[in-house]
Amino acid sequence: MASPRTPNTKLMTELRRNKIVEFVNENGSVTTEEMVKEFGVSLMTVWRDLTALEESGQVRKIRGGAVRVDNRTDQEPLYTSKQVINRERKEAIARFAAEEFVHDGDIIFMEAGTTVAAMARHLRRYRQLTVIGNGLGTMNELARLVPDLTVYCCGGMLREVANTFVGPQAEEYFRHVNANTCFLSATGINLPEGITDVSLLEIQVKRAMAGNASQVVVLMDSTKFGVKSFSRVLELSQVHALITDEGAPPRTVEQLRAAGVQVHVVPLAQS
């Protein structure tokens, strides 16, 4: 019989794993180094814990860490809460998109997601750039750059949860203007479904944007891989390029490239 002072190893392991799940859920994604520091255990112990937690469906392992498992498609986070989730990943992706896919004189669509909105701070360098969007958050970021660039926003009904203008008026607006590039994000990407999102109102506007752009570039951080949300936004054949971070599952990246999608994996060190 174990001494009262002897730790119950099994219980301690379960408690630590429960805390790991809480830690990952709170942050969206966590690196193994962060978990080693947070829980004071070895890297090998962290990987054993993550393996067990993935097998039980509580987290999803990625290269260098773990991400939250969130298969719920009936709930949409507030815009303000999305701004602080995976900020480092979003910033790296947004910077790459602005540097590699925007040119002087372009007309671009920027939808209302927080990753796309993060592109705004990298657009000041361009001349005669016209940006058209449907989100208050994106417009607030772009307002700081006026008059160095030209900014338009569609009309429509304002959705409070996402700070976006949606509905027939917004859809019709984008059907009558053209762009060189449409920058989109969404709730998830899943094979073979494609790009998916939680709101049909948002989806209709995104489709209208994509339909009148010469190319569609999707900005999607690695925590959204494998997530199948309420309904499809676009099929993979409609996506010209996808920009993600180094946490994206390598097998899925290769499958996307095999499907004809130009995938760019951005190192987080660039952010």
Q: Write out the chain's pLDDT in tens, 271 residues.
A: 444 444 467 778 888 988 898 888 777 788 899 999 999 999 999 999 998 888 777 788 887 888 877 554 445 554 444 544 568 889 999 999 999 999 999 999 999 989 999 999 999 999 999 999 999 989 999 999 999 999 999 999 998 888 899 999 999 999 999 999 999 999 999 888 899 998 889 999 999 999 999 999 999 999 889 888 888 999 999 999 999 999 899 999 999 999 999 999 999 864 4
CA angle 226, 227, 230 (to 5 degrees): 145
The type of residue at 148 is D
Q: Is residue 16 classed as helix, strand or coil in its secondary structure? A: helix
Non-local (6+) Cβ contacts of 248 within 8 A are 62, 222, 225, 265
**CA distance linking residue 183 with residue 94, whole number of Å:** 10
Burial 137-170 (b: 16+ CB within 10 A, else e): bbbebbeebeeebebebbebeebeebbbbbbeeb
pLDDT at 73: 44
Task: Quote the percentage of the chain above a pLDDT of 70.
Answer: 90
pLDDT at 12: 84
**CA distance linking residue 142 with residue 147, whole number of Å:** 10
Non-local (6+) Cβ contacts of 101 within 8 A are 181, 183, 217, 241
What are residue 263's DSSP bridge partners? Answer: 242
**CA distance linking residue 169 with residue 156, whole number of Å:** 5
Q: Are 225 and 218 in contact (CB under 8 A)?
A: no
pTM over 0.75: no
At 177-216, the pLDDT tens digits run 999 999 999 999 988 889 999 888 999 999 999 999 999 9
pLDDT at 210: 97
pLDDT at 146: 93
- Supply the CATH classification number for the domain 9-68: 1.10.10.10
Q: Furthest-apart CA pair in the chain: how many Å?
A: 78
pLDDT at 60: 82
pLDDT at 157: 93
**CA distance linking residue 247 with residue 116, whole number of Å:** 19
**CA distance linking residue 91 with residue 103, whole number of Å:** 19
Tell me the average pLDDT of the chain: 87
| Integer CA distances (angstroms), 137 to 180, 187, 243, in order | 22, 17, 21
Indicate the domain borders of the chain: 9-68, 79-270
Q: Residue 164 — φ and ψ, nearest 5°? A: -125, 150
Strands 107-110 and 130-133: parallel
Say which CATH topology domain 79-270 has.
Rossmann fold (3.40.50)
Q: Annotate 128-141 with DSSP letters as a single string.
A: S-EEEESBHHHHHH
Structure tokens at 258: 């095999």
At 66-99, the pLDDT tens digits run 887 755 444 555 444 454 456 888 999 999 999 9
User: How is residue 149 annotated by DSSP?
Assistant: S
pLDDT at 270: 44
CATH topology identical between 9-68 and 79-270? no
The type of residue at 56 is S
Structure tokens at 171: 């859809």
